[in-house]
Amino acid sequence: MLRSFLSLMLMGAIVGCGVSVTPTAARVAVKGNVTLAGQPLTDVDLNLQPTGDGLPAVVKVKDGKFEAELVPGKYTYYLSQASGPAGARSIAKVPPNCLIGSADREVEFAGPGPVEFALK
């Protein structure tokens, strides 16, 4: 009986501590380019973390281009390796500060216009 009560209390605490996210929030189609020193990156993931409204997203970048549907808002971003040898070669060239999230590196998605990620 005590075990059942404690289990129920623990489940209530876990559920009560959840983050409220609206997965059905209105999204906009976005597209853009990711380049490093003027050259397109390929086979990398663009990781987006909202700084306000929005949902986290991982977007595939192929031949320097990406397309996705995102909740409009501001996001911090970083790159990670997707897959394959081309991804390993691409990610090895990316500056270390672009491999981790950073609050001082932010992008806003407001509509369908192209977004440029020009890394140096």
Tell which residue, 29, 16, 21, 18, has the closest CA to residue 50: 21
pLDDT of residue 4: 41
Structural domains in the chain plus CATH codes: 26-119 (2.60.40.1120)
pLDDT of 82 above 70: yes
Residue 17 has pLDDT above 90, yes or no: no
Q: Read off the pTM.
A: 0.76
Higher-confidence position of 113 and 106: 106
- Look over the chain and give the mean of its residue pLDDT values, rounded to a whole number: 81
Evaluate if residue 5 carries a pLDDT over 50. no
Q: Lowest mean pLDDT: which of 11-15, 21-25, 68-72, 90-94?
A: 11-15
pLDDT at 23: 62
- State residue 22's pLDDT score: 58
- Calculate what percentage of the chain has a pLDDT beyond 70: 80
Tracing tokens 């001082």 back to the chain, one arrives at 104
